[in-house]
Amino acid sequence: QVQLVESGGGLVQGGASLRLSCAASGRTYTIYKVGWFRQALGKEREFVSAISWNTGRTWYADSVKDRFTISRDSAKNTVYLQIARLKPEDTAVYYCAADSNSAGNPTLLASYDYSGQGTQVTVSS
């Protein structure tokens, strides 16, 4: 089993930056990828970004690739999502998820085996 805990969310003004963290514990050696997804009120959960646990290869949704940066600290078993120039439409619960399948599509939530409880990001205009 892998446990994931997100942190770093909060209420911020538009234009500010924020860094979300996803701390993994348990059988972290089984992780191939960690992804970030977000779900706004009344909308479906959508892919934001993902990173290969071992190689550091990254994936981004087209809508965020100019403002979001994903990274990892292997020593801390933690994946970060840096968000710049926050917009009100970034308001959502942000979830991280871990995939133990090397062939899984990083942009599909169904590919992931574990997910955290989420952290709320609210951006005021």
In residues, how long is the chain?
125
* CA atoms in the 13 A half-sphere facing the CB of 59: 16
pLDDT in tens, 49-102: 999 999 999 999 999 999 999 999 999 999 999 999 999 999 999 999 999 988
The pLDDT score that the predictor gives to residue 102 is 80
Q: How far apart are CA 10 and CA 86, in angstroms?
A: 12
* Res. 114: pLDDT tops 90: yes
Checking phi first, is residue 74 left (phi over 0); if not, alpha (psi -120 to 50) or beta?
alpha
- Does 103 have pLDDT greater than 90? no
pLDDT of residue 91: 98
CA distance 63 to 38: 12
Question: 42: how many CB neighbours lie within 10 A of its CB?
Answer: 5
Average pLDDT (28-33) is 94
pLDDT at 101: 83
Q: Which of 87, 92, 89 is nearest to 6 (CA)?
A: 92
Mean of pLDDT over the chain: 96
pLDDT band (50, 70, 90) for residue 20: very high
For the cut 90, the answer to whether the pLDDT of residue 104 exceeds it is no
